[in-house]
Amino acid sequence: MHSRRPTHSGPPRTAHPLPRPVGREAGLSQPSRVQRPVARVLIPAMMLAMAAATVAMPATARAEIPFNPNIVADVAEKVTPAVVNITTRRDRRNPMARRFREFFRRLPPEMGAGSGVVISANGDIVTNNHVVEGADEIRVAFADNREYRAKLVGADKSSDLAFLKIEAKNLPYLEIGDSKELRLGEFVLAVGNPFGVGQTVTMGIVSAKGRANIGIVDYEDFIQTDASINPGNSGGALVNLRGQLVGINTAILSRSGGAQGIGFAVPTTMVKPIRDQIAKYGRVRRGWLGVSIQDLTPDLARTLGLNKVDGVLVSDVLRGGPASRSDLRAGDVIVAVNDRPTKTSAQLRNRIALTRPGTKAKLDVVRDKKNRQSVYVTLDEKDEDGPVASRNGSNSDDILDGVEVVDLSRELRQRLRVPTALTGVVVSDVAPGSPADEAGLQSSDIIVEVKGERVTSVQQLNQLVSQYKKEVLLRVFTRGSFQYLVISR
């Protein structure tokens, strides 16, 4: 049961684009005279059906369906004045210039471009961190040719957000909407300055929400859209058809460098708390829970007696961390944070990170196959270099045949740097292709529990495992953290 580690560490891969079939090559025959009248009948019928559906829908839903092109034009006219072009200048100073002035001259400055969104009448602007990072000068230009020099108020590399300020009053700005209210298939507009050609508006739909593990930034909860987001759109606005800001356009998946229908925007549910923290503290203070976690798999859910594969398994409670001062335990499955359903490790990390340190977080957990119960943890502040919650790899299935273990001696404890208080047995060998190997068990792993029972010796391990004929749940200490494995015979 492999732990399903990523097979590459680079940017996400995309599939090769498929050629679009046309005409006969697409398996279509040329239209005949018999087919044309059918088309004439179908088109009015379809229009009538759409009109009937529109009448049957609630007023709020009808307002979001742009059968009238003026709806899109009206929204575009409303939002474009608040989306700005951002240009940056970075001085590239040659470190050898002072020492060898006669041989070296100052290098020309490096220029950059992107987009930004005005979010207050007094000149507050949000953009991407990568648009302004390292800039010596930042300038902001409006569509009406007004231009201002901008000051960097604060930035957060972990979410790729940055906040600027310009000295101006009565500026057009966008209302910040609630990205949680977005629905799949809802129409959105992307506004920005792609390729530096000038302000551009593209239209698409919300393709997905809560996209994470893309590998773009540390904290990911992206809105995915097929609205074209091209180079230069970074930092621009993603708006709904009410003209509200719902996301900051950030990245695309592409083989060519241009838009291919997969764009990502940072949701406003992340923008607002980060903006508030930077305004109050000058930096982002993230909450820290102090646990190791892993995603549930069908095997783990079944073994733990859960009906759904929803939730996040706590594989360890870190000693001295905030969770250790609460009733949270290893083996608990966290299903909600502050009454918000939490299905994945990424969701848990984001929600804890965006909760202010010192806040008492409410965690709904399932424990010992019983009903949900609430555990309250007062969060500490996350160390800048430490994880909010360690995420272990997910696991799959199957057996202890082919596994050799030895008692945890003092010498092995020192060599493997095993914590003093930890008891268990050391895995000395795992046969290739064995069920345990497939499960992800490795040499030097420490088996510390069998189905919740602590392991202190090889003899005890054998006794505990012998009780289970088909599958067994192990808790192991591996590479400095704890992890659960389901091994089936």
Whether 254 and 14 have beta carbons less than 8 Å apart is answered as: yes
**Radius of gyration of the chain, Cα coordinates, nearest whole angstrom:** 28
Whether 18 and 456 have beta carbons less than 8 Å apart is answered as: no
The token duo for 472 is: 């067994």
Catalytic-labelled residue, pool 115, 156, 159, 160: 160
Question: Which three-class secondary structure string do you get for 164-219?
Answer: EECCCCCCCCCCECCHHHCCCCCEEEEEECHHHCCCEEEEEEEEEEEECCCCCCCC
Q: How many CB atoms lie within 10 A of CB 341?
A: 11
Whether 288 and 379 have beta carbons less than 8 Å apart is answered as: yes
Instruction: Please give the Cα distance from 477 to 463 (Å, whole number).
Output: 20
What are the CA-CA distances from residue 486 to residues 7, 10, 268, 343, 394 (Å)? 22, 30, 39, 20, 11
What are the CA-CA distances from residue 448 to residues 25, 26, 479 (Å)? 62, 60, 14
Catalytic-labelled residue, pool 115, 207, 234, 315: 234
Catalytic-labelled residue, pool 115, 124, 130, 221: 130
Provide φ and ψ at 41, rounded to 5°. Answer: -75, -40
What proportions of the chain, in percent to the nearest 5, are helix, strand and coil? 20, 30, 45
Conformation bin of residue 130: beta by default, left when phi > 0, alpha when psi is -120 to 50: alpha
Torsion of the alpha carbons at 5, 11, 13 and 19, rounded to the nearest 10: 180
Instruction: Please give the Cα distance from 437 to 331 (Å, whole number).
Output: 23
234 labelled catalytic: yes
130 labelled catalytic: yes
Q: What are residue 251's DSSP bridge partners?
A: 264
Instruction: Please give the Cα distance from 139 to 111 (Å, whole number).
Output: 11
476, HSE (Cβ side, Cα atoms, 13 Å): 27
Instruction: Please give the Cα distance from 351 to 365 (Å, whole number).
Output: 15
The token duo for 199 is: 């302000």
Task: Give catalytic residues, as residue numbers.
Answer: 130, 160, 234
